[in-house]
C-alpha cells in the first residue's frame, strides 16, 4: 500500500479563457492528455507561481497573445488514462478569464495550432474539442459580458 506521501495526487494547472468579439482563443494540443484536440491554452502551475502568473505565462508560451487576467471563474477535472483504462494523471484545471489586449495567435510551446473560434462553432459535434471546452467557453463569454 502506498503511504499518503507517495500516493498519486491531482496536478494543479491553469487554463486561459480569452474572449474577443464573440470568439474564444483555443489551441490544438500536441501532448497528452488530449493530444490533437482543441482546448484552452494552459498548463501546470510552477512552484511559487500565482494562478494569474501561470495562466498568463502559458497563454504567452502557447499563443503569443497578450491579455489581462480578470478572475478565476470555474475549474474542471481532466484525466489521462493508460491503454488499460487506469488513471495515469489527474489534472485540476483552474479557468482564468482574460481580456485580450494585443497579438494574433501563433502556435508555440506544446501547441500544434492556435486560433480564434466563433462561440457558436463550438457546438459543432465534428470539432475535436477536449472535454468541457464548449461549456467553459460559453461560461467565460457570459462572465466577460458581466465584467464589460
Residues tagged active-site:
113
Please state the φ and ψ torsions of residue 72, each to the nearest 5 degrees: -80, 135
Which of 117, 116, 119 is CA-nearest to residue 145?
A: 119
Q: Which residue reads 502556435 in cell numbers?
A: 107
- Check: CB of residue 127 under 8 Å from CB of residue 39: no
CA atoms of 117 and 110, how far apart (whole Å): 19
Per the DSSP assignment, residues forming a β-bridge with 28 are: 38, 113
Amino acid at each position: 500500500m502506498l503511504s499518503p506521501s507517495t500516493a498519486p495526487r491531482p496536478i494543479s494547472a491553469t487554463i486561459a479563457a480569452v474572449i474577443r468579439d464573440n470568439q474564444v482563443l483555443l489551441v490544438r494540443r500536441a501532448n497528452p492528455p488530449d493530444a490533437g484536440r482543441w482546448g484552452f491554452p494552459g498548463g501546470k502551475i510552477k512552484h511559487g507561481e500565482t494562478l494569474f502568473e501561470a495562466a498568463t505565462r502559458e497563454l504567452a508560451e502557447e499563443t503569443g497573445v497578450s491579455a489581462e487576467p480578470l478572475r478565476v471563474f470555474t475549474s474542471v477535472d481532466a484525466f489521462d488514462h493508460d491503454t488499460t483504462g487506469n488513471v495515469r494523471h489527474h489534472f485540476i484545471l483552474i479557468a482564468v478569464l482574460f481580456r485580450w489586449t494585443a497579438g494574433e495567435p501563433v502556435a508555440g510551446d506544446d501547441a500544434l495550432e492556435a486560433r480564434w473560434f466563433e462561440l457558436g462553432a463550438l457546438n459543432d459535434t465534428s470539432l475535436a474539442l477536449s472535454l468541457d471546452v464548449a461549456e467553459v467557453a460559453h461560461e467565460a463569454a457570459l462572465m466577460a459580458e458581466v465584467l464589460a
